[in-house]
C-alpha cells in the first residue's frame, strides 16, 4: 500500500472510531480492535479451524475413496495435479483474500459505505478474473501436465481430474470472495457452516459418482466443484439474510477506478504470492514425477495427512489478517505485536503436539489411503511426514507473520515471501533430489519455510515502523488543524 493511502485510512479510522453500530449491524460481526488479543484470536480462529478441518476431512475421504476404489495409479494421477492445482486455485484464493483486506480495514475504521463499495468492486474483479483465467488454463492443462513429466501411466487420470477442477474456477472465486468478506467483519462462524454442508455434499457425491456412476477420478473432481458451488450459494444467502452491513446499495455499485486500483494493489500480490510459491512446487512435483508413480502416490497420501495437520496454521494466518486489518484501520498499532505473540504461543504448542503424533503414528495414518502391501508407498510417505513435522514451527511463522503483514496493508511483500519459498523448493528439485533422491523432496518445504521466515521477520519490523510513523504524522496534522 502506498504511504499516502495508508495515512488516509488510518486518519479515517481515528475520525470514525467513536461511531456506534446499531443492534442489527452487530449481529454477525466481531470487533477485534479491543479486548484481550489471546481471547480474540482463539475465539475467531477456533470456528474457522473447525470448518477448515472438516474441509480437510472431506479431502482425505476423497483421497481414500480414490486410493481404495480406483487404485494407486488413480491416486497418483490426482496427486500429480497438486502443484499446478495450487498454482492456479491458490492464485484465485489469494486474490480474494487480498480483496477482503480493504473490507476489514474499512470495517475497523467504521467506514461502512466504503466497505460495501470495495465488496461491489470485488465482485466485478472476480467476474473478470474468472473469465480471463478459466479459458486459457483449461485449454493448456494437458500440455502443462506433459511439461511436468507426469508419468504416462497416470497422465489420463491427472488430466481428467484437473480439467474439471479448472472449469470450477468461477465458483471457487465466488466462495472465497463472499466468505472472505464475512470473515473481514469478524464472523468466522458462518463460513464453518458453509464448509460443513459442502463437505457432506462432497462426500455423498464422491461415493455416488465414483462407486455408482462409475465416473472415476472425474467424479471426484465434479463432486468437489459442485460442493464449492453449494458453499458459494450459502455464503451469498447468509449475507442477504444476516449481514445488513454488506448489503450493497444501488449507488455503491457504480464503478470507480480508485477502488479497482486498491483491490489490484491488495489482491494481485497475494494471488501472485501463492502462484510464485507454487512455481517451486511445480518444479518439485516435476522432479518427484521423474522418480515414478510410487513416489507420486506417497507424496499424495502424505500430503493429504499433512494438509489436515497444517490446517491450524491456515486458521491462525487468516485470523491474523483480519486482526491486523481491523486494528490498523482503527489506528491501534500497539495491539499488533501482542496479537502476533499470542498467535505464536498457540501455534508453538500445537506444533510440538502435531510433530509427536506424526512422528509416532505417521505410517499407520497412511494405511487409510493404501493397503499394507504397498510398502514403498508407506515408507516414502512416512519419511515425508516425519521430516516435515519437525519443522512445523517455521511453517507457523510463515503463516501468522505473512498474513499479519498483509492485513496491515502491505500485500506486495507477500510476493517476496513467495519468492523465498519458491527458491527453496527449486533448489531442492534441482540439487537435492538428484543427489539424495526422495529425501530431497521431503526437505524441500522445510527449506522453503526457513528462507521465507528470514525475510518475513525483517519485513514485519519495517512495516510496523511505517504504520506507526504514518499514524504519528496524521495525529500531528490533526492536532495542528484543531
Phi then psi for residue 298, to 5 deg, are: -65, -40
* Measured distance CA(320)–CA(276) in Å, rounded: 22
Residue given cell 484465485 in the structure block: 92
Grid cell in block for residue 411:
500485500
The SS3 assignment for 188 reads coil
Q: How many CB atoms lie within 10 A of CB 325?
A: 29
* Measured distance CA(460)–CA(7) in Å, rounded: 18
Find the mean pLDDT for residues 335-356: 95
Quickly list DSSP for 260-284. HHHHHHHHHHHHHHHHHHHHHHHHH
User: Is it the case that residue 173 has pLDDT exceeding 50?
Assistant: yes
User: Is it the case that residue 331 has pLDDT exceeding 70?
Assistant: yes
Give the CA distances from residue 209 to residues 64, 65, 169, 170, 388, in Å, rounded to whole numbers and listed in that order. Answer: 14, 11, 21, 22, 34
385-405 burial, b for 16+ CB within 10 Å, e for fewer? bbbbbebbbbbbbbbbbbbbb
For residues 303 and 82, is the Cβ–Cβ distance under 8 A? yes
Place 176 in a pLDDT band, splitting at 50, 70 and 90: very high
* Measured distance CA(393)–CA(343) in Å, rounded: 12
User: Is it the case that residue 242 has pLDDT exceeding 70?
Assistant: yes
User: Is it the case that residue 196 has pLDDT exceeding 70?
Assistant: yes
The predicted pLDDT at position 482 comes to 59
The predicted pLDDT at position 25 comes to 40
Alpha helices in 148-256 (DSSP H): 152-167, 169-184, 190-206, 217-242
The predicted pLDDT at position 297 comes to 84
Q: What is the pLDDT of residues 453-474, one digit of tens each?
A: 999 999 999 999 988 888 888 7
Give the closest residue to 474 by CA, choosing from 321, 275, 328: 328
Radius of gyration from C-alpha coordinates of the chain: 22
Alpha helices in 310-432 (DSSP H): 311-329, 336-366, 375-389, 392-407, 412-427
Find the mean pLDDT for residues 415-423: 87
User: Is it the case that residue 360 has pLDDT exceeding 90?
Assistant: yes
Give the closest residue to 77 by CA, choosing from 218, 228, 239, 191: 218
Grid cell in block for residue 353:
503436539
Round the average pLDDT of the chain to a whole number and report it. 86
DSSP 34: S
Domain ranges of the chain: 36-473
Place 396 in a pLDDT band, splitting at 50, 70 and 90: very high
User: Is it the case that residue 278 has pLDDT exceeding 80?
Assistant: no
Quickly list DSSP for 442-459. HHHHHHHHHHHHHHHHHH
State how far Cα 384 lies from the chain centre: 22
Q: Which residues contact 158 (CB under 8 A, 6 or more apart)?
A: 77, 78, 80, 81, 145, 150
Give the CA distances from residue 313 to residues 20, 39, 124, in Å, rounded to whole numbers and listed in that order. Answer: 33, 17, 30
Could you tell me which residue, 148 or 436, shows the higher pLDDT? 436
Grid cell in block for residue 55:
474441509
Grid cell in block for residue 361:
503414528
Helix 311-329 / helix 336-366 crossing angle, nearest 10 deg: 170
User: Is it the case that residue 26 has pLDDT exceeding 70?
Assistant: no
For residues 56 and 200, is the Cβ–Cβ distance under 8 A? no
Find the mean pLDDT for residues 137-145: 91
Q: Please report, rounded to a whole number, the percentage of residues in the chain having pLDDT higher than 90.
A: 47
Amino acid at each position: 500500500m502506498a504511504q499516502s493511502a495508508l495515512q488516509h485510512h488510518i486518519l479515517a479510522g481515528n475520525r470514525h472510531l467513536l461511531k456506534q453500530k446499531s443492534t442489527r449491524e452487530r449481529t454477525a460481526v466481531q470487533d477485534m480492535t479491543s479486548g484481550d488479543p489471546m481471547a480474540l484470536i482463539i475465539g475467531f480462529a477456533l470456528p474457522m479451524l473447525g470448518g477448515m478441518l472438516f474441509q480437510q476431512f472431506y479431502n482425505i475421504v476423497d483421497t481414500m475413496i480414490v486410493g481404495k476404489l480406483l487404485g494407486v495409479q488413480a491416486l497418483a494421477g490426482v496427486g500429480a495435479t497438486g502443484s499446478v492445482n495450487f498454482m492456479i486455485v491458490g492464485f484465485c484464493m489469494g486474490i480474494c483474500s487480498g480483496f477482503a483486506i480493504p473490507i476489514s480495514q474499512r470495517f475497523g475504521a467504521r467506514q461502512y459505505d466504503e466497505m460495501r463499495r470495495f465488496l461491489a468492486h470485488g465482485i466485478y474483479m472476480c467476474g473478470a478474473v474468472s473469465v480471463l483465467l478459466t479459458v486459457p488454463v483449461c485449454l493448456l492443462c494437458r500440455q502443462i501436465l506433459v511439461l511436468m513429466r507426469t508419468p504416462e501411466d497416470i497422465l489420463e487420470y491427472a488430466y481428467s481430474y484437473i480439467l474439471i477442477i479448472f472449469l470450477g474456477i468461477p465458483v471457487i472465486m465466488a466462495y472465497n470472495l463472499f466468505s472472505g468478506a464475512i470473515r473481514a467483519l469478524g464472523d468466522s462462524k458462518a463460513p464453518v457452516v458453509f464448509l460443513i454442508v459442502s463437505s457432506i455434499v462432497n462426500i455423498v457425491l464422491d461415493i455416488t459418482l465414483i462407486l455408482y456412476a462409475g465416473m472415476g477420478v472425474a467424479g471426484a473432481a465434479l463432486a468437489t466443484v459442485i460442493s464449492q458451488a453449494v458453499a458459494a450459494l450459502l455464503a451469498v444467502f447468509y449475507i442477504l439474510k444476516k449481514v445488513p452491513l454488506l448489503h450493497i446499495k444501488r449507488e455503491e455499485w457504480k464503478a470507480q477506478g480508485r477502488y479497482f486500483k486498491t483491490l489490484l494493489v491488495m489482491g494481485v500480490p497475494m494471488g501472485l504470492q501463492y502462484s510464485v510459491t507454487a512455481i517451486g512446487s511445480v518444479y518439485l512435483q516435476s522432479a518427484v514425477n521423474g522418480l515414478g508413480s510410487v513416489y507420486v502416490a506417497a507424496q499424495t497420501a502424505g500430503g493429504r495427512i499433512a494438509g489436515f495437520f497444517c490446517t491450524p496454521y491456515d486458521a491462525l494466518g487468516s485470523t491474523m489478517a483480519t486482526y491486523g486489518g481491523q486494528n490498523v484501520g482503527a489506528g491501534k498499532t500497539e495491539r499488533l505485536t501482542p496479537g502476533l505473540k499470542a498467535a505464536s504461543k498457540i501455534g508453538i504448542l500445537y506444533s510440538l503436539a502435531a510433530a509427536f503424533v506424526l512422528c509416532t503414528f505417521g505410517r499407520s495414518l497412511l494405511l487409510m489411503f493404501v493397503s499394507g502391501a504397498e510398502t514403498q508407498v508407506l515408507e516414502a510417505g512416512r519419511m515425508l511426514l516425519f521430516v516435515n513435522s519437525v519443522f512445523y514451527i517455521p511453517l507457523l511463522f510463515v503463516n501468522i507473520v505473512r498474513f499479519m503483514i498483509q492485513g496491515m496493508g502491505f500485500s506486495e511483500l507477500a510476493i517476496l515471501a513467495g519468492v523465498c519459498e519458491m527458491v527453496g523448493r527449486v533448489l531442492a528439485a534441482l540439487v537435492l533430489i538428484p543427489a539424495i533422491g526422495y529425501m530431497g523432496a521431503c526437505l524441500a518445504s522445510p527449506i522453503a519455510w526457513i528462507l521465507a521466515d528470514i525475510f518475513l521477520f525483517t519485513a514485519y519490523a519495517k512495516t510496523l515502523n511505517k504504520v506507526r510513523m504514518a499514524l504519528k504524522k496524521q495525529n500531528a496534522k490533526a492536532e495542528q488543524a484543531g
